[in-house]
Amino acid sequence: MKKLLTGNEAIARGAWEAGVVVCTAYPGTPSTEITENAAKYDEMYAEWSPNEKVALEVGLGAAIAGGRALVSMKHVGVNVAADPLFTLSYTGVNGGLVLVSADDPGMHSSQNEQDNRHFGRAAKIPVLEPANSQEAKVFTKLAFDISEMFDTPVMLRTTTRVAHSQSLVELADRKEKGIKEYQKNPSKYVMIPANARHRHVVVEDRLIKLKDYAESTDLNRVEWNDTKIGVITSGVTYQYVKEVLPEVSILKLGMTFPLPQKMIMDFANKVDQLYIVEELEPFIEEYVRSWGLDVHGKDTFPLIGELLPETIAAKIMQTLGDCSPRETTEPDQLQYEIPPRPPVLCPGCPHRGLFYVLNKLKVTVAGDIGCYTLGCLAPLKAIDTTICMGASIGTAMGMEKARGKDFARNLVAVIGDSTFIHSGITALVDVVYNKATTTTIILDNRITAMTGHQHNPTTGFTVKGEPTKEIDLVLLAKAVGVERVRAVDPFKLDELEKIIKEELAAEEPSVIITQRICALIDKSKNNPYRISTEACTGCLRCLKLGCPCIAKEGKEVRINLAQCVGCGLCATVCPSEAIKKEGGAND
């Protein structure tokens, strides 16, 4: 039976068919749906881990114990998981372990567009790259076989287009693999230097065997056509090349580390001009050039962002001196022009009140990764830095250590509840231990909102929706040594401002927890608000909230009643009381 699946759904299906027993992840676009779908299969244990390092550690524990394990994360998550990953390459596995790295060319939802094939090369583990949903499922299953065949973790590298695009997938039954026998083996699994030196030799021997495998596996194949142009490609760019250049010969690489050198050399010798079409880094190209082959790569195609089919066709034609336009199918024209939709905090977002106050107080704000990063945009413009998950607290502390305590009197770190659990706790420990006075604001909206409302250790539910222990952030902050911990509703602006001023003035670490549920999961019904044109003085203070419901039309400011969720924050900031709730008095 065939079914239309996204790449992420197909990976989850492939894991189930492969007999996987443990699936772990920290949510991150474009990988999140893998674990959400894996959790639907009763035969597999699934979890949202506190961060990617823990996810991989749980996965490797399951694999060493003899079960097959799937660990999923977005590309920057591999940075977090790199420590156990590199040593796992030395220890090897028992049951198969597949690490999904979902890269994000074009940075649709990421802070960088690193190419994680480099991680595969650095860790000396095989890297597979599917080009569509069917391959995503098949490659997942094969990755587990390779993992157990060569005693190694395997990276399945996808990109956003493969992860989120749909194509038909042939379904199969689950094959139970059972749990392999576990035997205590310190020389393999205890990486003290004496054992690690021995295991490094094993890794190098394994890499030689993987190179031989790359030459013979069906993952890599040649599709012969006209030999005037030969293209080496992988992943979603294979689909683009097939679409716009159907007449060329193609070497499709499903395994991009290690590369099949003999196969590539043979292909190159049989075509007149050789092109390498790959998104982001010249990963394949650098190898091919090192073998002395003449090739067009990043001298022709852009290094930055996603490749488009039209770009691939145009660039190759330019190198051939053919600048005539190629026939393409024009997309259906829309009847109306679609207005631009820049990212913005949602109507009723609980973070809006906090950033309004921080902007008003003109404090320096070390920000973090989450929906709330949008607080950097106009008109709120409240955030000074955003680096990576969990960096806000350490960044603020570093600023304080460099510029002194007086600077800290006007400095805060802001971090979401899920991000604080991910990697903010240790930085808060550093603040306490090394005598900083940082004021940390934890934005507790009761969910991991940025990636689509996944549960986390503060919500009281697992990925399967089962009730579990709920981490108390107030008690947690006190437990690491912060004595000044205060909770506040971020829509109570006067109280919030008063607390922030008090904690900034305190010469000791403090934590403020803003507590209000995400507006998208708050099901309470509130009447929208309306602006009285007679009472409005035109001060435009309500526009400083950056609420997408409020707009200036001519000389008047209006609220879009269809969008307004009735949070009332605009009425709170209105000095002339011109904003009233529809059908009743303001709360």
Residue 439: its H or E element: strand 439-444
Q: Is 574 annotated as a binding residue?
A: yes
pLDDT for residue 329: 58
Q: What whole-number distance in Å separates Cα of residue 147 and Cα of residue 51?
A: 23
The amino acid at residue 546 is G
Phi, psi of 157 (to 5 degrees): -100, 120
User: Starting from the edge strand earliest in sequence, which strands make up the sheet with 226-234, in order?
Assistant: 220-223, 248-253, 226-234, 273-277
- CATH for 1-179+186-213 is 3.40.50.970
Q: Helical H runs in 483-548?
A: 493-505
What's the pLDDT at 328?
56
| 323 carries a ligand binding annotation | no
- Integer Cα distance of 74 and 109 in angstroms: 10
Residues whose CB falls within 8 Å of the CB of residue 576, separated by 6 or more in sequence, listed in order: 535, 536, 537, 539
Beta-strand ranges (E) seen in 147-210 are: 154-159, 166-170
Q: What is the reported pLDDT for 317?
A: 82
Binding site annotation covers 346? no
pLDDT of residue 224: 97
What sign for the dihedral angle of Cα 339, 330, 327, 234? positive
Quick check: 39 and 23 in contact, CB under 8 A? yes
388 marked ligand binding residue: no
What confidence score (pLDDT) does residue 316 get? 86
Structural domain spans, the chain: 1-179+186-213, 218-318, 348-513, 527-579
Residue 108: how many other CB atoms lie within 10 Å: 13
Cβ–Cβ under 8 Å, residues 432 and 482: yes
- Of residues 175, 289, 291, 312, the one with CA closest to residue 233: 312
Whole-number pLDDT of residue 343:
85
In a structure prediction context, what are the per-residue pLDDT tens digits for the chain, which is 587 residues long?
Answer: 999 999 999 999 999 999 999 999 999 999 999 999 999 999 999 999 999 999 999 999 999 999 999 999 999 999 999 999 999 999 999 999 999 999 999 999 899 999 999 999 999 999 999 999 999 999 999 999 999 999 999 999 999 999 999 999 999 999 999 999 999 999 999 999 999 999 999 999 999 999 999 999 999 999 999 999 999 999 999 999 999 999 999 999 999 999 999 999 999 999 999 999 999 999 999 999 999 999 999 999 999 999 999 899 888 888 776 655 455 555 667 777 777 777 899 999 999 999 999 999 999 999 999 999 999 999 999 999 999 999 999 999 999 999 999 999 999 999 999 999 999 999 999 999 999 999 999 999 999 998 999 999 999 999 999 999 999 999 999 999 999 999 999 999 999 999 999 999 999 999 999 999 999 988 777 899 999 999 999 999 999 999 999 999 998 999 999 999 999 999 999 999 999 998 765 55
Structure tokens at 236: 């979603």
Q: What is the pTM of this model?
A: 0.94
Q: The domain 348-513 is classified under which CATH number: 3.30.9.40, 3.40.640.10, 1.10.287.610, 3.40.50.970?
A: 3.40.50.970
Q: What is the pLDDT of residue 583?
A: 75
Q: Decide if 1-179+186-213 and 348-513 have a common fold.
A: yes
| CATH of region 218-318, choose from 3.40.50.720, 3.40.50.920, 3.40.190.10, 3.90.930.60 | 3.40.50.920
Cα dihedral value 366, 371, 372, 378, nearest 10: 100
Pairing type for strands 529-531 and 579-581 reads antiparallel
What is the rounded CA–CA span in Å between residue 509 and residue 513? 13
Q: Which of 362, 444, 443, 427 lies closest to 393, judged by CA? A: 427
Whether 539 has a binding-site annotation, put simply, is: yes
What pLDDT sits at residue 585?
57
Predicted local confidence at residue 326, as pLDDT: 56
Q: What is the CATH code of the structural domain delimited by 527-579?
A: 3.30.70.20
* CA distances (Å), origin 310, targets 92, 158, 241, 326, 383: 43, 22, 9, 9, 38
Instruction: Give backbone dihedrals phi and psi of 223, rounded to 5 degrees, phi first.
Output: -115, 100
Is 349 one of the annotated binding-site residues? no
